[in-house]
């Protein structure tokens, strides 16, 4: 069994690495292309919205489908569907309409497909490796994703000046095909629970039962509430960083690629550390530390826009931003990893797809509004002021939930149980 788990992990990392590498290169190139063509942070933000909005709308459906159907088939289908869609986009943009709206459409459709992929693959990890390898699996998975994301902006920044935007579409097509082939070879049902015979319920009924289950789980319910506002305030980061680096500081595209790449370096190093150590026992301490440090770093990233620092050369600002972004990502990992392990262990397989999808929906619910709002505000207010306001918003949010003890007491209760909760007690309306 251990040999099968290791084989699954290797194939999973290969598939994840190639798919995320291609998507990272393609997404970075689209952002640069739109920013170069329009010079508008708002137009750049629209791309981020179109990449996020489908996840918010479709996550409950995607999670339900992941719980009803064979997750392996969903993963394989969406991998190859992404590849096919990129070929269609290549033809449209190269031979029919060389317009920015085609790129918007490409981002939106890929986001729809990735919503179903993400719900299926996240809920399948437990069955792929078993409960004892969850932290290692999530850590190695994040390491593969981070390594590809490190290379993505760097390659995107270098290739952007050498090849047309359509070449990035072909690169991403190839990586999705490789990911699909790897998914075919993975044993996703290695530790699958024996499911009871399926009831003749409709998709809408299953979606409703997923909401009811989450509502009756205090830890999950409060986690979603925190995620909604936390990620709204954090939406300033992906919009403001390119604007700060390219428009305010006047750095080169490859420098932005390297700075964004350090975000993945931080995640990569933290993932390697977590994969090599035993599972975190005091998850509440790890998460609290990350939540306290997160807004401090966010504010510090905006400091190069202060008038007193505008005279500082980019030779000094460049490594400073690298260090800040590196630290930011490392502490995000310190928050996310314990949460994901606990959720996978405490959620029954029959609900796992819906729970992970609803949490993702909560995490992204207010992000599009944040992208649009901050994209517009960046053209009227300085970066440092907006970053400080967002950091202060996160401080208030975390202080309130620590004061009310809305999440950590329930987290410790879940950890102490060490077994999934009784379904019969949590599915009543």
pLDDT tens-digit map of 68-78: 888 899 999 99
Q: How confident is the model at residue 413, as a pLDDT?
A: 62
For the stretch 221-272, pLDDT in tens is 888 888 888 888 988 898 889 889 888 888 887 788 788 878 878 888 888 8
Neighbours of 72 (CB within 10 A): 19
For residue 1, the model assigns a pLDDT of 67
Residue of 302 and 201 predicted with greater confidence: 302
Q: How confident is the model at residue 408 (pLDDT cuts 50, 70, 90)?
A: low
The pLDDT score that the predictor gives to residue 78 is 93
- pLDDT over threshold 80, residue 185: yes
pLDDT of 429 over the 60 cut:
no
Computed from CA positions of residues 289, 411, 361, 355, in that sequence, does the dihedral angle turn out positive or negative?
positive
Residue ranges per domain, the chain? Answer: 2-189+202-425
- Tell me what the pLDDT averaged over the chain comes to: 82
DSSP state of 429: -
Closest C-alpha to 407, from 235, 274, 237, 287: 287
Which has more pLDDT, 145 or 9?
9
The superfamily CATH assigns to domain 2-189+202-425 is MFS general substrate transporter like domains (1.20.1250.20)
In contact, 87 and 381? CB cutoff 8 Å? no
* CB 140, CB 275: distance < 8 Å: yes
What string of H, E and C letters represents the secondary structure of 215-281? HCCHHHHHHHHHHHHHHHHHCHHHHHHHHHHHHHCCCCHHHHHHHHHHHHHHHHHHHHHHHHCCCCC
The C-alpha atoms of residue 366 and residue 95 are separated, in whole angstroms, by 36
Rounded CA-CA distance 303/310 in Å is: 9
Distance of alpha carbon 31 from alpha carbon 23, whole angstroms: 12
How far from 291 is each of 27, 104, 269, 311, CA to CA, in Å? 28, 33, 19, 32
Would you state the pLDDT for residue 200? 66
Q: Which of 34, 28, 44, 179 is nearest to 93 (CA)?
A: 34
SS3 197: coil
3-state percent breakdown (helix, strand, coil) of the chain, nearest 5? 85, 0, 15
Binned at pLDDT 50, 70 and 90, residue 412 comes out as: low
Alpha-carbon distance of 25 to 21, in angstroms, equals 6
pLDDT at 425: 33
pLDDT band at 88 (very low <50, low <70, confident <90, very high): very high
Q: What is the pLDDT of residues 343-387, one digit of tens each?
A: 777 788 888 888 888 887 887 777 778 888 888 888 888 989 999
User: Percentage of the chain surpassing pLDDT 70?
Assistant: 90
- Indicate the pTM of the whole model: 0.72
Q: pLDDT at position 93, please?
A: 87
Give the pLDDT band of residue 198 (cuts 50, 70, 90).
Answer: low
Q: Are 86 and 70 in contact (CB under 8 A)?
A: no
d(CA 80, CA 72): 13
**Residue 249: what are its φ and ψ, rounded to 5°?**
-90, -15
């Amino acid at each position: 069994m251990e040999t099968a788990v290791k084989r699954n992990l290797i194939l999973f990392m290969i598939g994840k690495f190639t798919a995320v590498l291609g998507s990272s290169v393609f997404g970075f190139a689209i952002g640069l292309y739109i920013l170069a063509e329009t010079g508008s942070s708002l137009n750049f933000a629209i791309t981020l919205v179109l990449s996020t909005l489908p996840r918010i709308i479709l996550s409950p459906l995607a999670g339900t489908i992941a719980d009803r159907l064979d997750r392996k088939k969903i993963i394989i289908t969406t991998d190859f569907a992404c590849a096919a869609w990129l070929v269609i986009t290549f033809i449209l943009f190269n031979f029919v309409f060389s317009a920015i709206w085609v790129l918007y459409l490409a981002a939106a459709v890929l986001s729809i497909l990735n919503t179903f992929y993400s719900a299926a693959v996240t809920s399948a990890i437990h069955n792929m490796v078993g409960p004892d390898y969850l932290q290692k699996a999530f850590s190695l998975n994040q390491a593969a994703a981070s390594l590809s994301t490190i290379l993505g902006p760097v390659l995107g920044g270098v290739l952007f000046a050498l090849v047309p935007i359509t070449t990035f579409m072909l690169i991403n097509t190839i990586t999705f095909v490789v990911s699909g082939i790897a998914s075919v070879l993975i044993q996703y049902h290695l530790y699958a629970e024996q499911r009871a015979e399926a009831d003749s319920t409709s998709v809408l009924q299953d979606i409703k039962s997923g909401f009811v289950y989450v509502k009756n789980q205090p830890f999950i319910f409060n986690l979603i509430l925190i995620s909604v506002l936390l990620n709204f305030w954090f939406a300033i980061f992906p919009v403001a960083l390119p604007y700060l680096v390219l428009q305010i500081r006047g750095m080169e595209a490859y420098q932005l690629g390297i700075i964004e790449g350090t975000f993945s370096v931080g995640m990569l190093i933290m993932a390697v550390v977590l994969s090599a150590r035993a599972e975190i026992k005091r998850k509440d301490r790890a998460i609290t530390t990350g939540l306290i440090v997160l807004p401090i770093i966010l504010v510090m990233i905006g400091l190069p826009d202060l008038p007193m620092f505008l005279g500082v050369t980019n030779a000094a600002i460049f490594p400073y931003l690298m260090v800040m972004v590196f630290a930011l990502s490392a502490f995000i990992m310190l928050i996310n990893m314990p949460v994901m392990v606990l959720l996978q262990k405490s959620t029954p397989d029959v609900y796992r797809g819906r729970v992970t999808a609803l949490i993702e929906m909560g995490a992204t619910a207010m992000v599009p509004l944040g992208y649009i709002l901050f994209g517009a505000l960046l053209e009227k207010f300085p970066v440092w002021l907006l970053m400080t306001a967002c950091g202060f918003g996160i401080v208030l949010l975390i202080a309130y939930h620590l004061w009310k003890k809305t999440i950590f007491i329930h987290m410790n209760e879940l950890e102490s149980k060490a077994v999934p909760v009784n379904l019969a007690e949590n599915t009543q309306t």
